[in-house]
Amino acid sequence: MSPQSRTKVGVKSKSSRSKGEILAWPNDPMSGLDPLKRPVPRLTTPPLAVSIEGTAPVARPYGLKTSQFRYWTAAEALRRGADFWAARLPAGKSWEPGEVLKANLDEGVDLNAYYDRSELAFFHDRADGKTVYSGESPDILCHELGHAVLDSVRPELWDAASTEVAALHESFGDISAILSTLQLQSMRTDLLAETGGKYRSSRVSRLAEQLGWALRQGRPDAVDSDCLRNAVNSLFYRDPQELPPSAPASGLSSEPHSFSRVFTGAFFEGICMMLTGRWSSPTEENLHQVTSDAGQLLVDAVQEAPIVPDYFSQVAAHAVSAATSYDGSYSDSLKSAFVRHGVLSLEAAAAITGPHPARAREVGAGTPARTKNAGQTRLPQVALSVAEFGLGPRKLLVYSAGQAKTFQVTAASRTTAAAPPAHDEAAKHFVRFLFQRGRVQVEQKLAATAVAHPLVRKTHRLVARGDELALERLHFDCGLDSTATPGRQ
């Protein structure tokens, strides 16, 4: 099936809606928007059926702060998220726990939510005199749903002893929240009004404002200043083995939620670039198309990417590779975004020039793409010594992210081991920075495989000097290293 035919937009499953209307949040309760009237969702309609524990209230609009309102806003968000992903998964896919995914909207006191392979569990707690329900936020609902979706696609990820694998799971959850909210026409219009499609902080990029607020009352440094996590960020990849196990939200740590922000930031910037790179004045219909394509690219990538310690770069490489089958600008947009966040090194991005050879053959044959790791239902196990943790002399057995790489790519910081001589180090570092940030204007004839960063404002250009290349500055700017509107570079 061609990518285009798999990602049609505007096709709604009539069977997942029933008559009548309910009232539901279009985004997080603290995003500043009013509830919307929405068709009554039919949660238990396959594919990806969901059921909420307890008796469903009569379907009609309810007042805010009622349990009935929370029920229907949760049902609407979960159905919307499930519909989005169901259209992108292989036919016949169901949840890892079974045909129907259960959700419990209030399992007790906590400021959190969980997916545990038996259900989605949400909680409540009080903060600064206010009760917050994690199951009231579409961001949290669709984040947890995202875990369940990814678990159905790649169940081997569940037990992998790998920071990047765990972080990718969290990132998939946050991307699920973003793409699910953008299935609402009003949210697409709102995002374009707020940002014009540029990579700017918005109520869409800010995830779980309300839960973030509640957590901030007790631990001010644990979350962003205006949300739980923000998909618009400046975080750059670092080898998680070099990071501390925890850090304030302003910094990066190897804790999976913290580290996930690198991939989420890159992928969301990629979405913005896919949009503005393809359409100079994007409409909400254009944005709808891009969300569909981005969701499909991500599903394709996680299905095919081998599970390795530097998992981010493998998923990114497969997404870039898959994007070559779509609009011509998508691949460059994703490359640019992944390089700008260090998920792919410049060298790695330059090396991805089309579909992986095995994928190209299989797609050409009309069969689903598979890698040589496909079909492996278990990762290899390794034994770790854990005497230092008081666990005695026994070995700790874990599943290792030990599959074979399909793309020989790395993230940015993993290439710094091959350091240049000391006297060149500063200059090389600066040039690398310019290319990573996309600040260099490169003519195609000079460097055909260089990452183009078509939407990034340039400060330098590459020119030919005889048999060599030279770097010339075009101008200084105010220092806001941002993506530019096409035509304004």
Q: Which residues bind other proteins (CB under 8 A)?
A: 97, 104, 107-118, 121, 123, 134, 140, 143-144, 147, 158-159, 161-164, 166, 169-170, 173, 208, 211, 215, 228, 240-241, 245-246, 254-255, 257, 309, 382-391, 394-398, 400-402
> Judged by CB, which is closer to other proteins: 139, or 293?
139
Question: What's the min distance (Å) between Cβ of 410 and other proteins?
Answer: 13
Instruction: Output the smallest distance, CB 228 to other proteins, in A.
Output: 7
Those residues whose C-beta lies under 8 Å from the C-beta of residue 262, and which sit 6 or more positions away, are: 167, 235, 236, 237, 252, 312, 341, 342, 343
Least separation in angstroms between CB 35 and other proteins: 22
Compute the least distance from the CB of residue 113 to other proteins, in Å. 4
In sequence order, which residues have a C-beta less than 8 Å from that of residue 320 and are 6 or more positions away?
331, 334, 335, 338, 344, 349, 352
Give me the least distance between CB of 374 and other proteins, in Å please. 22
Q: What is the 3-state secondary structure (H, E, C) of the chain?
A: CCHHHHCCCCCCCHHHEEEEEEEECCCCCCCCCCCEEEEEECCCCCCCEEEECCCCCCCCCCCCCCHHHHHHHHHHHHHHHHHHHHCCCCCCCCECCECEEEEECCCCECCCEEECCCEEEECEEEECCEEEEHHHCHHHHHHHHHHHHHHHHCHHHCCECCHHHHHHHHHHHHHHHHHHHCCCHHHHHHHHHHHCCCCCCCCCCEECHHHHHHHHHHCCCCCCCCCCEECCCCCCCCCHHHCCCCCCCCCCCCCHHHHHHHHHHHHHHHHHHHHHHHCCCCCHHHHHHHHHHHHHHHHHHHHHCCCCCCHHHHHHHHHHHHHCCCCHHHHHHHHHHHHHCCCCCHHHHHHCCCCCHHHHHHHHCCCCCCCCCCCCCCCCEEEEECHHHCCCCCEEEEECCCCCCCCCCCCHHHHCCCCCCHHHHHHHHHHHHHHHCCCEECCCCCCCCCCCCCCECCCEEEEEECCEEEEEECCCCCCCCCECCCCCC
Q: Which is nearer to other proteins, 240 or 438 (CB)?
A: 240
Contacts of 185-190 with C-beta under 8 Å, sequence gap 24+, read 185/284, 185/288, 186/26, 186/36, 187/26, 187/27, 188/284, 188/287, 188/288, 188/291, 189/284, 190/33
Instruction: Please identify, using beta-carbon distances, which residue of 155 and 328 lies nearer to other proteins.
Output: 155
Choose between 71 and 259: whose C-beta lies nearer to other proteins. Answer: 259
Cβ 237 to other proteins, closest distance in Å? 15
Closest CB 103 distance from other proteins, rounded Å? 13
Nearer to other proteins, 111 or 297 (CB): 111
The smaller minimum CB distance to other proteins, of residues 116 and 285, is found at 116
**CA-based nearest residue to 451, from 463, 462, 461, 438:** 438
- Nearer to other proteins by Cβ, of 305 and 322: the residue is 305
Q: Which of 346, 354, 170, 158 is nearest to 256 (CA)?
A: 170
| Beta carbon of residue 82, minimum distance to other proteins (angstroms, whole number) | 17
Smallest distance, other proteins to C-beta of residue 159, A: 5
Which residue lies nearer to other proteins by CB, 61 or 402? 402
Q: Amino acid identity of 42? A: R
Q: Residue 383 or 464: which CB sits closer to other proteins?
A: 383
Q: Which is nearer to other proteins, 108 or 248 (CB)?
A: 108
The distance of closest approach from Cβ of residue 74 to other proteins in the complex, given in angstroms and rounded to an integer, is 14
> Closer CB to other proteins, residue 264 or residue 289?
264
Residue nearer to other proteins on the CB measure, 246 or 280: 246
Compute the least distance from the CB of residue 102 to other proteins, in Å.
10
Supply the minimum distance, in Å, between the C-beta of residue 223 and other proteins. Answer: 8
